[in-house]
């Protein structure tokens, strides 16, 4: 990745690492924020794996594919459980027959069988009326979005073309998609929900603001001064706008 992407990834890591110590319990009091931190950490992991894999393209995806499968297995198991509970409670026997699988079953599935079941679930949770019906079972819009994101990454990696150049191109596209997902989650969810700590825990809020700064090691001038610049105005919402829109 280029210097700008590397600097942005460092910012992502700084935000991720805020959820330690006493802040774990504080962040967990806001379920949507806690979920967002989980998804954020997962995106960082896949960005790191994809970037490493891009350097050794043409070996079938390797570690990046393994990580994408692991992440997708979690999503499939969670959503399958939600749909199973919904089918059981509503008496939908046909739907129940298509889901109701054990966690161990997903681990034992071939890549293609896991993809097929994932595609089935993606279709079901997109049906008219079902998103609202599944909300009480835990399928929030954010979780549905994350499911689709993880599916796209997994599907792409298990179907990598043979040619090295085409594989490299696929990795670049996936990395860009992960960066976009991170930026949107930070901008529209994490930045906004962290505002609640301005009064109740200003120290945590300040740490979050500081973590959202992008330190650009490339600097603004030539020479070997090793200077840095930042893209924050001091408010997470403002800094996120600059971190997302600048490339």
pLDDT digits (tens, 9 = 90+) for 81-91: 999 999 999 99
Q: Locate 21 and state its tokens.
A: 């110590």
Write down the pLDDT at residue 169.
87
What does the radius of gyration of the chain's CA atoms come to, in whole angstroms?
20
* CA separation for the pair 185, 75 (Å, rounded): 17
* CA separation for the pair 154, 69 (Å, rounded): 6
* CA separation for the pair 69, 37 (Å, rounded): 20
Write down the pLDDT at residue 230.
46
* CA separation for the pair 64, 132 (Å, rounded): 33
Write down the pLDDT at residue 222.
41
CA 9 from chain centre, in angstroms, equals 13
Write down the pLDDT at residue 197.
97
The DSSP call for residue 190 is: I
Write down the pLDDT at residue 2.
85
Total number of residues shown for the chain: 247
Q: Locate 239 and state its tokens.
A: 């800094």
Write down the pLDDT at residue 168.
85
The DSSP call for residue 100 is: -
Q: Which residues in the chain come in under a pLDDT of 50? A: 218-234, 237-247
The DSSP call for residue 186 is: I
Write down the pLDDT at residue 86.
97
- Give 86-144 pLDDT, tens digit per residue: 999 999 999 999 999 999 999 999 999 999 999 999 999 999 899 999 999 999 999 99
Write down the pLDDT at residue 99.
97
Q: Locate 70 and state its tokens.
A: 């692991």
Write down the pLDDT at residue 1.
81
Q: Locate 131 and state its tokens.
A: 């998103």
Query: Within 10 Å of residue 87's Cβ, how many Cβ atoms?
Result: 19
The pairs formed by 127-133 with CB atoms below 8 angstroms and a separation of 24 or more are 133/86, 133/90
Please, what is the end-to-end C-alpha distance for the chain in angstroms?
12
Q: Quick check: 230 and 216 in contact, CB under 8 A?
A: yes
* CA separation for the pair 109, 232 (Å, rounded): 45
- The residues with which 230 forms a beta bridge, in sequence order, are 215
* CA separation for the pair 235, 240 (Å, rounded): 8
Largest CA distance in the chain: 70
Q: Locate 205 and state its tokens.
A: 């809020």
Write down the pLDDT at residue 182.
96
Q: Is the pTM of this model over 0.75?
A: yes
* CA separation for the pair 57, 52 (Å, rounded): 9
Q: Locate 240 and state its tokens.
A: 């996120």
């Amino acid at each position: 990745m280029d210097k700008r992407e590397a600097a942005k990834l460092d910012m992502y890591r700084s935000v991720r690492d805020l959820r330690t110590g006493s802040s774990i319990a504080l962040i967990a009091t806001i379920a949507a924020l806690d979920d967002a931190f989980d998804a954020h950490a997962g995106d960082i992991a896949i960005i790191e794996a994809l970037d490493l894999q891009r350097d050794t393209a043409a070996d079938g995806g390797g570690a990046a594919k393994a990580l994408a499968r692991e992440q997708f297995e979690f999503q499939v198991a969670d959503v399958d459980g939600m749909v199973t509970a919904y089918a059981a409670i509503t008496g939908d026997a046909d739907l129940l027959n298509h889901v109701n699988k054990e966690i161990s079953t997903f681990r034992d599935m071939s890549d293609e069988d896991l993809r097929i079941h994932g595609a089935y679930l993606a279709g079901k949770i997109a049906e008219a009326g079902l998103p609202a019906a599944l909300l009480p079972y835990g399928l929030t819009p954010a979780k549905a979005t994350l499911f689709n994101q993880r599916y796209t990454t997994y599907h792409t990696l298990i179907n990598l073309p043979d040619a090295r150049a085409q594989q490299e191109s696929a990795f670049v596209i996936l990395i860009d998609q992960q960066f976009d997902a991170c930026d949107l989650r930070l901008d529209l969810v994490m930045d906004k929900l962290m505002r609640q700590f301005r009064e109740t825990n200003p120290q945590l809020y300040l740490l979050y603001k500081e973590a959202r700064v992008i330190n650009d090691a490339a600097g603004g001038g030539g020479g070997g001064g090793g200077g840095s610049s930042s893209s924050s105005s001091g408010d997470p919402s403002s800094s996120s706008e600059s971190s997302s829109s600048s490339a």
